Chain A
Amino acid sequence: MNESVSIFTLVGRVSKTVLLLVYALFALFPLLWMIIMSLKPDSQMFTTTFIFSPTMENYSAVFLRSDYPHFFLNNLLVSISAVLLSLIVGVPAAYALARFHFRLKEDIAFTILSFRFAPEILVILPLFLIYQRTGLYDTYFGLIWVYQLITLPLLIWILRGYFEDISPDIEAAAQLDGYSWWQVFLKVLLPLVKPGLVAASLLCFIFAWNAFTFPLLLSDARAQTSTVVALRFLASDTVHYGQVAAAATISALPEVILALLIQKHLVRGLSFGAVKG
């Protein structure tokens, strides 16, 4: 009996591993294909075998012979700054919405959320006009500001759940021990919501990094980001698929590196607070 159970368990484990492996291959294949394309010369782009003469030509065309690195750095600067600004504004806002009771609280929370689900194209024309008139058009600050429409609602709504999960008794206990309100916030509450903070920041960064409509219409040669500029390799004379793939591979790197670095917090952060008691 024992033997048959262990064989059963073994088969179960093996098939589970095989299935997971197959799924991992399935999920990673587009990334793998993108990397392969980035290493292929144009003349072999449409072969469907894995045999080709690898070349770094596409990377050198994108990074040494075009201004793509400038726009890549733009994207990095604008996205990181947008997330930082959202953290500065959003964390206290999330706390206030979770902890305090005031008039129109839910209306305000819903209004903030509505910024997220309003289609960008719906608000772009008035924004475009305002930006042009106020000199915010094609500036880093202009983009960082407008990105708050993407990042802030996400951050506030994720963190609000975390703050709601922390018992007010913990704050009271810390205050009894002699902490001022600010000390309670910084030394007790923030460490407790750290997994959520990390997960929300990463999600915000990904959404900001991938933003397209806002940088397309509210910026030009100076502040434009790599998401818009990557399309330039789809030239009218020919599509440089290798260069598009090289640009996309490099573009994916910051997100991949960040996700790997904070993987530990990410899993905890995304699952924590999901179930309310």
Chain B
Amino acid sequence: MRIRSPKFAFVVASIGAAILLAGSPGSARAEESKFDWKQASGTKLVVMLNKHPYADAIIKRLPEFKELTGIDVEYTETPEENYFDKLTTALASKNGNPDVFMTGTYQLWDYASAGYMEALDQYLNDPTQTNPDYDVKDIFEGVLNGGKWDLVPGHQTGTGSQWALALGFETNILAYNKKYFDEKGLKVPKTFDELYSLAKQLKDWNGAGSYGVAVRGTRNWATIHPGYMTTFTNAGAKDFEIKDGKLISALDQPLAIEITKKWAQLVKDGGPPAWSNYTWYQCGADFGAGKAAMLFDADILGYFQNVVSPDGKKGSDQAGNIAFAPPPVMKEGDPAGANEWIWQIAINKSSKQKKAAWLFMQYFTGKEHGTWAAINASVVDPPRKSVWDNADFKAVMDKAPGYLETFNTIIEHTSVKFTPQPFFDESTTNWAATLQKIVLQGADPKSAMTELAKSITRNTSKLKLEQPEKKPSTSK
């Protein structure tokens, strides 16, 4: 096309310059828009969720996700009591339903080993599939590593492929009734011995039946992983060791026995009277109702009891009276960390909509949703560092005295402390049964733990400590 006059050329150039200038403040947006969120538009995803505030946050933002990506999401939300039964059945059917599912970090070891999970590395490393702004390094290392494993029993998390990404996580710390502690001038225990003496002293502190510290006690893996495992590993004890190429239980080591003995004493003298029936629910309910003075469990369990909504509705009777402190350690000055539990999402290996599934995962583990959910939808603890630095999030968390300080103190030493292996469920259930034997029947900790270690080793010593893919072919 020929330019008709210098005047016309000037007008065209001016308009062009104006458009360029007008566009420049939005350069970040322009950069972001390079990523094609619509690449799987028109797809329909099936997502399986566990009933949890983390899942509720996803459900609330499905319209925004659909608007951004054009992907339809059909979801199911199952109560936690039965969630893994349903999920395991669905994954075992290997028919691609669901496409995306919520999983817990310990269950991941079963599902990844069974070939139910899609490795995420190929997506994370592909700039056409992963938004350049995703920033995986923003996720706490210990939390990111909770979704990584090389499938070799006995190898720690943080090795091998990334199988899942975190929606939120929990550290195990000490929550206490600050109002009562302040009234009586009580000192928050820093060591395990201080915790023991105080818990024993606080029997009947708030009327008959009230007690010192709420801890779990059912014959279940969930009894082991909060306060007990945190104390156990903070003291330097280990659950397994590899000897002569075999995975051997280390629960019969002197340190493991000593910690277990102390824990059993704490339960007997300062724990809930009906301890062996205590799960997450009973511990949280007792602490919130002012029946337990302290709670040695997930930080978010104490947090939920403390919440007072803007309309004044209290999360529990003691809401507003609760504060947080790091888990007591064996010797004062020892670094305090915590065993963590992570709620993650992952892609079903049999999914036929993997591109869309990855977009879903990316959106709901990304910065934008993470920040929104942490501030507006009770997603504590958020897995991204940038969220913890966010002023609005800090303002929310300031209502829980000591929560942020505790988190910052322990996060460096917080990780999944269990050794991944496929007999996780069986070995931790036996471990909890042994704890019950020691507490309820007065069994000798040394012989009970030695017997336990033997029974666990019977299974784990048969495991081949190599990656499944590298197994020599048996075909003739």
Chain A residues within 8 Å of B, Cβ to Cβ:
42-46, 124-125, 128-129, 132-133, 216-217, 220-221, 228, 231-232, 234-239, 241
Contacts and interface: CB of A to CB of B under 8 A. Distances in A.
Interface stretch (B76-84, B328-336, B364-372, B420-428): B76-84
A216 B82 contact: yes
A133 B305 contact: no
16 contacts: A42-B314, A43-B314, A124-B89, A128-B93, A133-B95, A216-B78, A217-B89, A221-B75, A228-B79, A235-B51, A236-B52, A236-B53, A236-B80, A238-B285, A238-B288, A239-B284
A221 B74 contact: yes
Contacts of A128: 89-90, 93
A238 B97 contact: no
Interface residues of B, number: 37
B77 A232 contact: yes
B53 A125 contact: no
A46 B285 contact: yes
Given A43-B316, A46-B317, A216-B86, A234 B81 contact: yes
Given A43-B316, A236-B52, A241-B285, 10 more contacts: A46-B317, A125-B93, A132-B97, A216-B78, A217-B89, A234-B281, A235-B52, A237-B315, A238-B285, A238-B316
B75 A239 contact: no
A132 B95 contact: yes
Nearest 4 CB-CB pairings of A with B: A231-B79, A237-B304, A46-B289, A220-B76
A46 B286 CA distance: 8
Interface of B: 51-53, 74-82, 85-86, 89-90, 92-93, 95, 97, 280-281, 284-286, 288-289, 291, 300, 304-305, 307, 314-317, 378
Nearest to B208: A48
Given A237-B304, A238-B305, A239-B281, A221 B289 contact: no
A216 B90 CA distance: 11
A104 B52 CA distance: 53
A132 B92 CA distance: 12
A129 B79 contact: no
Contacts of A216: 78, 82, 85-86
A143 to B, nearest CB: 15
Nearest to B51: A232
Given A125-B89, A129-B95, A228 B82 contact: yes
B210 to A, nearest CB: 11
Contacts of A237: 53, 300, 304, 307, 315, 378
